[in-house]
Amino acid sequence: MITIAKASQLPTCDVLAFGPHPDDIEIACGGTLLLLHKLGRTVALVDCTRGEMGSRGTVADREQEALAAGKALQAKARCNLDLPDTGIRNDDNDATNKVVAAIRAVQPKLIFAPHERDVHPDHTAAAQLIERAHFLAGLRNYQPSLGAPHRAGTVLHYPGNQPVEPSIVVDISAIVDEKVEVVRCYRSQLSPLDTGYLVQGLDLLERTIVRQQAVGAMIAVRAGEGFCHDGPIAAGDLSWLLG
Ligand SMILES: [Zn+2]
């Protein structure tokens, strides 16, 4: 896993996952990304902000934790766009161009992005920013200096701080312990002394475990990660439904 300073220098990968803050990707899709890696797929991670407004942990702590988590996820590369924490704007041109540069550099077939229905304004804004940038990334005449035009075949949105009915649930039971170890890399976010400010009253690891069990129960497995797709997903035939 390498840390990339500029989005335009990210390597080509099959999968690109965006997180508004360091730790969002791991909580929402850590298991799915581990499974994709085991299938031989390459993954790049892009954090929008450094989480500097977080109630716990310094920016330096969170940078080290994100590096460790990226390694544990077997990601090929990780990059931080350095957008302002609590100040992501969906219509900011510099921010848009950073996301466009990431998409064009990685040329992913599949993108993971936050779901816009979320109590944290950064998650909503990041979802809208990524959707806008993904469209613009495919326009040949939009900022050609940011790389060759590209759009991913599929974009999956992951719920963040509030539940959203998923279109797809990935069974992560087989690697759930490995995923928990990935989330544990964010030590500064765990074991709070004062829980009054926590979203939903749970720390990050508790929230991850409770959420993945509840989502897994939707498809009768021990742990799952849910994703939303805009519109129908194409299927050549239904043989995959026959086991
Ligand atoms: Zn977040």
Query: In the chain, where are the structural domains located?
Result: 2-230
Summarize pLDDT for 28-66 with one digit per residue, the tens: 999 999 999 999 999 999 999 998 988 788 899 999 999
pLDDT digits (tens, 9 = 90+) for 106-146: 999 999 999 999 999 999 999 999 999 999 999 999 999 99
DSSP string of 99-157? HHHHHHHH--SEEEEE-S--SSHHHHHHHHHHHHHHHHHT-TTS-GGG-S----SEEEE
* Distance (Å) from CA 184 to ligand 1 centroid: 16
- Residue 62 CA to ligand 1 center (angstroms) comes to 13
CATH topology of domain 2-230: Rossmann fold (3.40.50)
Distance 33 CA to ligand 1 centre (A): 18
| Cα–ligand 1 centroid distance for 25 (angstroms) | 9
Gap between the Cα atoms of 238 and 58, Å rounded: 49
* Ligand 1 center from residue 93 Cα (angstroms): 21
Q: What is the pLDDT at residue 194?
A: 57
Q: How far is the CA of 136 from the centre of ligand 1 (A)?
A: 24
